Amino acid sequence: MKAVLQRVRRASVTVDGQCISEIGQGLLVLLGVADGDTERDADILAAKIANLRIFSDSDDKMNLSLLTVGGEMLVVSQFTLCANCVKGRRPDFFGAAKPDEANRLYLYFCERIKNEGVTSVKTGEFGADMQVELLNDGPVTILLDSGELKK
């Protein structure tokens, strides 16, 4: 499971011209579910993300977690994070989980984030053509891979 975290001042998701989710200060999480991912991958990422100290303290040092600052989270499913670009010029997505399994683990991840103590968790619309708008704060953008975190 792969995640791109972006610390944001605000973020929103629009589908068919309608804003379906929006947050203020917090994290936009783009989540890619790979073939073979399990609940354990979601558990590992949820715990890491909720507690990752990437928000600034009063000394402007990244010392505070999303939980500490009471930030919100917007989670958007993004199978393109599982792209394989090794051969040719067109990525393949054979490494992405099948849609039913990807959606199940996406929803499971969102529940795990809530269980970690994040009180405001919003989502995109799984499988939809979404427009994601954000104001990146910092900018701070971090890549996480549950496979690497398991080691």
Predicted confidence at residue 151, as pLDDT, reads: 82
Active-site option among 14, 79, 109, 123: 79
Cα 146 to the chain's mean position, in Å?
Answer: 12
**What averages of pLDDT result for each successive group of 10 residues across the chain (151 residues)?**
98 98 98 98 98 96 97 97 93 95 98 97 96 97 95 82
Instruction: Give all domains of the chain, ordered by start, each with its CATH number.
Output: 2-135 (3.50.80.10)
Among the options 6, 14, 55, 78, which is catalytic? Answer: 78
**Which residue bears the tokens 């917007």?**
74
Tell me which residue has tokens 């499913």. Answer: 77
DSSP 8-58: EEEEEEEETTEEEEEESSEEEEEEEPBTT--HHHHHHHHHHHHH---EE-T
pLDDT for 132 equals 98
pLDDT on residue 140: 97
| CA atoms of 33 and 104, how far apart (whole Å) | 10
User: Which among 80, 119, 131, 141 is annotated as catalytic?
Assistant: 80
Please say if 78 is a catalytic residue.
yes
Strand-pair category, 72-77 with 121-123 = parallel
3-state SS, residue 67: helix
